[in-house]
Amino acid sequence: MGDIQKLLGWIDGQREEMVGLQRLLTAIPALAPESGGEGEDKKARALAAWLEGQGLAVENHPVRDSRVPAGERPNLAAVVPGADREGAFWVMSHLDVVPPGDFSLWEGDPYAMREKDGRLYGRGVEDNQQGLVSSVFAALAFLKNGVRPSRDFRLLFAADEEVGSAYGIEAVLRDYPRLFRRGDCFLVPDGGRPDSSMIEVAEKSILWLKFSVEGRQCHGSMPHLGTNAFVAGSALVLRLAQALPEKFSRVDSLFEPPYSTFCPTRKEANVPNVNTIPGLDVFWMDCRVLPSESVGDVLAEIDCHCRKIEEEYGVKARREVSQSKASVPTPADCALAGRLKKAVKAVYGVETRVQGIGGGTVGAYLRNAGYDTLIWSTIAETCHMPNEYCVVDNMVGDAKVMLLLALDQK
């Protein structure tokens, strides 16, 4: 008990240092090449030097990327050794940020952090430096006070989260499998609610599809000489929008909404003039499938409807998968979730609920690799916005939650 109070008190005393680290990190833009940037190299070097100055050694797990000046993307890891070396508790945050967007919407320089009324303003302060800094100070609490966590407490500062993690956690899991061990579990402080109440354990599988229906173009006055792709495409989209939710109708109350969704979204322009029968119709669907349903079955059902439309309308109907990401859920009653509920209650006095979301988080890579992974943090939800901010109290409180989790990994 003495140790816990000592460590929590130490974190309370580190507000200014936490703000200082935020300022340092904000000043170094870390944008992916897709966003016109040079990657995370400079920011990673500054963070590594800062951590080493505090006595925390970091190891880089670079991933080659010829598009950036450094030739590689950094993925840093640090460890506070535990009393028991089997299985680690990880906190994974990311180094990269999204571009500021329209500068005129910012009240100051996005890369010069401003502090006002208990908030820090700047690009990246919430997404994901808040979680990053919290994890750093949870780790330093052990080092500076000579206390050991129950198991290894490991930090991962990953690259490339904002544009898909191909040079970040996805590559690290593939290229450095020995960094992780069976039984490791992860907290990803990159999502959550302002009142700390949401723990995300699962996501729906994402399936983005492009449909091309090909008929034959002809003059609007002579429709018998062609095949109207617009009409056939419209029949197909209506059929899919009706049949897919009927066929894949399982309900899982972990999710909001609690069922799979199949939404026609983008529609591409066809002919520019009114007197031509269009020969090509292109539309897209965004499907979010419950983990308990099979994406393969969804695709088979879609193909079946395409064949029927081809027969009925004399067209060719093709579908391409532009993105497909399935995710294994972390059990809502896993040990880490129980500990996190306890820790959040202790620090914030808040009851949490576990939830699934619509998909597309980095958690999917870790879960698919077999590691229990929770996404949780206390955030103002200003990620990617102009005047993004971080509430200092949240940064400090979340550091305490991470500390309690690292103490309680038995």
Q: Which stretch binds Zn ion (CB under 5 A): 185-193, 209-217, 247-255, 399-407?
A: 185-193
* Cα first-last separation, the chain: 16
Strand positions, DSSP E, 310-352: 316-325
Q: How many residues in total does the chain contain?
A: 410
Closest CB to Zn ion among residues 95, 407:
95
In angstroms, the CA 101 to CA 383 distance is 12
Catalytic residue flag (residue 96): yes
d(CA 349, CA 367): 28
Using CB atoms within 10 A of its CB, is residue 365 exposed (0-12), middle (13-18) or buried (19+)? buried
Choose one: 29-37, 46-54, 187-195, 247-255; the region binding Zn ion (CB under 5 A).
Answer: 187-195
State whether the Cα torsion 391-386-25-174 is positive or negative: positive
Tell the smallest beta-carbon distance from residue 352 to Zn ion (Å): 20
CB-based contacts of 239-242 (< 8 A; 24+ apart in sequence)? 239/305, 239/308, 239/309, 240/264, 240/285, 240/302, 240/305
| 190 near Zn ion (CB under 5 A) | yes
* Lookup: tokens for 156: 């991962």
Give me the least distance between CB of 201 and Zn ion, in Å please: 18
Q: Which of 161, 190, 200, 408 is catalytic?
A: 161
Nearer to Zn ion, 132 or 399 (CB): 132
Task: Report the 10 Å Cβ neighbour count for 99.
Answer: 16
**Which residues in the 121-150 window bind Zn ion by CB under 5 A?**
127-128
Q: Is 260 helix (H, G, I), strand (E, B) or coil?
A: coil
Least CB distance from residue 127 to Zn ion, whole Å?
4
Find the part of the chain contacting Zn ion (CB under 5 A) among 144-152, 183-191, 200-208, 388-396: 183-191
Contact criterion met (CB below 8 Å) for 124 and 328: no
CB of 155 or CB of 280, closer to Zn ion: 155
Stretch that binds Zn ion, among 83-91, 134-142, 188-196, 366-374 (CB under 5 A): 188-196
- Minimum CB distance to Zn ion smaller for 32 or for 285: 32
Sign of CA dihedral 399, 22, 193, 162: negative
Handedness of CA 364, 366, 371, 377 (dihedral sign): negative
CB 76 within 8 Å of CB 59: yes
Scanning the structure block, which residue is given the tokens 């010829």? Answer: 66
Which amino acid appears at position 252 of this protein?
D
Amino acid at 371: Y
Count of positions on this chain that bind Zn ion (CB under 5 A): 3
State the helix-helix crossing angle for 392-407 and 335-348, rounded to 10 degrees: 130
Q: What's the min distance (Å) between Cβ of 44 and Zn ion?
A: 16
CB closer to Zn ion out of 65 and 190: 190
Judged by CB under 5 A, the stretch of 9-17, 186-194, 196-204, 256-264 that binds Zn ion is: 186-194
C-alpha span between 155 and 296 (Å, rounded): 36
Cβ at position 128, least distance to Zn ion in Å: 4
- Which of these segments, 9-17, 152-160, 190-198, 317-325, binds Zn ion (CB under 5 A)? 190-198
Q: Would you call 63 helix, strand, or coil by DSSP?
A: strand
- Which residue(s) pair with 211 in the sheet? 283, 319
**Closer to Zn ion at the Cβ: 306 or 383?**
383
Residue with tokens 């066809």: 270
Binding mask 30-69 for Zn ion (x = CB under 5 A): ----------------------------------------
200 binds Zn ion (CB under 5 A): no
- Which CB sits closer to Zn ion, 264 or 358? 358
Catalytic-role residue among 40, 65, 72, 96: 96
Exposed e or buried b for every residue in 30-44, given b needs 16+ CB within 10 A?
Answer: bbbbeeebbbbbbbb
Provide the residue type at 243 as one letter.
A
Q: Which is nearer to Zn ion, 193 or 319 (CB)?
A: 193
Min. distance of Cβ 216 from Zn ion in angstroms?
47
* DSSP designation for 327: -
| Residues lying near Zn ion in the complex (CB under 5 A) | 127-128, 190
Q: Which residues are identified as catalytic?
A: 96, 161
